[in-house]
Amino acid sequence: MLLAVDVGNTHTVLGLYDGPSLRHSFRIESARGRTADELMAILLTLLNMVKLEKSAVHASIIASVVPSLTEAVGDAIGRAFGIKPLVVGPGIRTGMPILYDNPREVGADRIANAVAAYARVQGAVVVVDFGTGTNFDCVNARGEFVGGVIAPGLQISAEALFSRAARLARVPIEKPPRAIGKNTTHSLQAGLVFGYVGLVDGLVERIRAELGPARVIGTGGLASLIAPESRTIEEIVPELTLEGLRILYERNCEG
């Protein structure tokens, strides 16, 4: 099996692939202080949960936006499974031209998303990835990564509001019954959720005005909250980044 690991700022998502099929996926906290020994124990515990021996994992690929965790995760995988993971970064074969002023600035997760989305739709596509920040990654009809947008994530926006406004208590980030709130909780939820939907749709419309017609795919932790309210997001693909990592592994280590 291939172990694909997406190390994000808030969560680390792991997927186990048997060929092209995702058999198991897991989500753990991206705790900066974890050592390779701790991470190795977590990996082996996760395998035990799904009744797999460590010998089942024969290869691995990592995309990380947290430099302090990249080495620790790689060491943990090496110790647990006796393999050296492929780390997405400069020099790997993506099969996709990166038309950024400095391609090294593009996060590994953004590359994986773009590769997976283009493979899925075979045409121009925008990926809206709802994570700590919300990334809008844009691929043209020729399969070139042309750039994108990075916006503050919904959770970050909410925390900024709660921390700066002394009389506003934290509320669950969920859809309220209507846009016009009848109490403070619903008013806050309307501003956060419907306001963020407006941000997403407004940016996608501007992107399409420059890129041309394009499919729009949502992914990431809060996609299931925002995408159903959006008029521009057409599909939610929860494991898009992991799928991109699987494709990148195949392009670099197979055939």
Active site residues: 109
End-to-end CA distance of the chain: 17
In a 10 Å sphere around its CB, with 0-12 CB exposed, 13-18 middle and 19+ buried, how is residue 231 labelled? exposed
Strands 86-87 and 59-64: parallel
- Tokens, residue 135: 């990334």
Adjacent-strand bridge partners of 59: 2
Pairwise CA distance, residues 225 & 20, whole Å = 28
**SS3 of 135, please?**
strand
Query: In the chain, where does DSSP find H-type helix?
Result: 36-49, 67-81, 108-121, 154-164, 184-189, 195-211, 223-226, 240-253
Q: 């592994």: which residue's tokens?
A: 249
Q: At what angle do helices 36-49 and 67-81 cross, to 10 degrees?
A: 60
